[in-house]
Structure 1
């Protein structure tokens, strides 16, 4: 598959190499629109006190901290593959106002009914606004946010169409504390139209994240159930701090196209053809 801009929507063309080689007039076998990219940010205490310059969440008046650098660099890449450029953005591992109870899936704009932010810049602004109001805490549980996105992806399966595919972008500083639940959540999510991109921030030990990636073997739930397909891509941001945007983009999106194809092929769902998408967008136009 390859991505292409068309108006405000970004579409993945599904290219069949065999058909392309045989047919001169072949364009594609259909398209898939990726129109839901959700962001989740680690606000656990292991990141350090935001008032301390050593913190990955350090509030500097003039320079972006490590999370902002990663969010902007990776987010702008994912933004190109989000059709409406609206990002539901969540945080996990912090005590949040007004009761200051620990939450692992709160909206960083504090609007649970509408957690969407306008573009990556909107996510940045929501992050900067909420950070001083939080108490960084713990533990580092990422299963709840995976389950939240999986719920949306599960509802999409009822359409029986290749129309929405969900991307969850998680930014975290390292070791997670709910590995068993996370493995269970990923195995469940591997049956749904979604992928998870985990970006490691800082210099911690990311061996757990690499295990979730599944590149070194098949990820299994605690009960031994294997993932239906690989849906996790782990990217240590420290390896790309001085790399070109193209190198980072290649790493971040390396596995997503095949993950999309594997899902729909496994379900026997054909991508929408261009004319269907045109008719749909024309019907919805004001």
Structure 2
């Protein structure tokens, strides 16, 4: 899942292993084949007693682990951590430290399935959940920001592998890295920045399976030498179940996800699944507490929409979301410690290797790099916008009333000349030379929309960009 050098072993070797997925959980832990009745695995456990849910309680938990283990875990340990109750009322960093959390490495996996286009109908004003707009953080941005800030104090090298899944290049069989060369993001700030840069260019698809993201996280744990990791999966829907799947039978995506969660309990890995959008979330809530085949309860689900829809102040909602998402992490970390999972590797890898970013993302990156290079070049004095007329002539086209960025619609319409001069370089964007010019700056010069997003100064006259105007032919 990400590459990068650090003292903690996050520099990953992505050579494809000889073994297949079924073997990466280790020969002593056979792959989970599913219950005789799939409903049994999703049967909701009753709420733990109040005493087990008290502030700071550690030893609670219901449900035993029926599967025998050859890793040397006692039944008492498996019973103790089989179902971890939602224990803490506060997830402040000092509370995490109190329970012994010393180091945690964050991994982020983002859902790019097609349903993101409509599952914000009620919860996000009908917009795509991946919509990027100035001053308005979408649910994915909010989740990365809140969890990233909370866990950043525990990530010593501050490297965050970030992945996407469910797009046209991965579907339900893999993940792609946010950065080329599978380079991890440097802190949650870069993770946010990178998400915003790639989201407009990823082609959404499907179906939905969390197994590839979990496999990639297991690979990261193995490559780090068994360091403790938290996998943050942010998704707009639960695992795909087609209408022709018979009752009492798992779909392929459901079975793959169940198998991956169970196999991941052999590693120092916590899985936090954050549901954004309108849902439904019934199956994810059942997965949270109803997989007794695991060595410890390694999966936590939180309904982001429900938490953030409360009437509390924004800061309180953010704190409540962090609480809901991370309340089981201290006990999961302690379970990994007592079971000897920290610092242990299996010597096996999941078969899939994270892919490079999708082609459209790489093309946008190349355009942005060219734009940055052009913007950094020193302009001749005679092209100073304060002292010389535009030597390239007036730009083409008449702007529409659709604008974004600073300024009003009327001001935007007045800002771009409507004459049909030659423009700079014909109809192609003068920066990337790939896409047609369809966005004008307040100075009148034009680029494609993709390049315009990267510009702080006009690439032609160097005037600071205060307005971007979408053009329609």
- State how far apart, in whole Å, the 2-side matches of 1:45 and 1:268 are: 37
- Name stretches of at least 5 consecutive residues in structure 2 with no aligned partner: 1-57, 59-90, 241-252, 344-473
Q: Does the C-alpha gap of structure 1 residues 59 and 33 become closer, same or farther in structure 2, counting only changes over 3 Å?
A: closer
- Runs of 4+ in structure 1 deviating by more than 6 angstroms, as ranges, are 1-5
The answer to whether the Cα contact below 8 Å between 1:166 and 1:193 also exists between their aligned partners in 2 is: yes
TM-score (norm 2): 0.44
> Comparing both structures, which one devotes a greater share of its residues to strand?
1
Q: Does the C-alpha gap of structure 1 residues 252 and 209 become closer, same or farther in structure 2, counting only changes over 3 Å?
A: same
Matching residue within 79, 87, 106 for 1:37: 106
Matching residue within 136, 142, 145 for 1:69: 142
The answer to whether the Cα contact below 8 Å between 1:38 and 1:88 also exists between their aligned partners in 2 is: yes
Aligned to 1:107: 177
Aligned to 1:117: 185
Question: How large is the RMSD of aligned CA atoms in angstroms?
Answer: 2.9
Q: Does the C-alpha gap of structure 1 residues 4 and 170 become closer, same or farther in structure 2, counting only changes over 3 Å?
A: closer
Instruction: State whether structure 2 residue 302 is matched by structure 1 residue 235.
Output: yes
Secondary structure of the equivalent of 2:302? strand
Question: Where does 1:198-277 land on structure 2 (aligned, <5 Å)?
Answer: 198-214=273-289, 217=290, 219=291, 226-241=293-308, 242=310, 243=312, 244=316, 245-267=318-340
> Comparing both structures, which one devotes a greater share of its residues to helix?
1
- Name stretches of at least 5 consecutive residues in structure 1 with no aligned partner: 6-10, 16-30, 221-225, 271-286
Across the two proteins, how many residue pairs are aligned to each other?
Answer: 230
Secondary structure of the equivalent of 2:191? helix
Secondary structure of the equivalent of 2:102? strand
Cα distance, 1:73 vs structure 2? 2.4
Matching residue within 169, 178, 182 for 2:232: 169
- State how far apart, in whole Å, the 2-side matches of 1:180 and 1:262 are: 25
Question: Where does 1:39-58 land on structure 2 (aligned, <5 Å)?
Answer: 39-48=108-117, 54-58=127-131
TM-score (norm 1): 0.71
- State how far apart, in whole Å, the 1-side matches of 2:297 and 2:214 are: 15
Instruction: State whether structure 2 residue 228 is matched by structure 1 residue 153.
Output: no
Instruction: State whether structure 2 residue 209 is matched by structure 1 residue 141.
Output: yes
Q: Mark the structure with the bigger radius of gyration.
A: 2
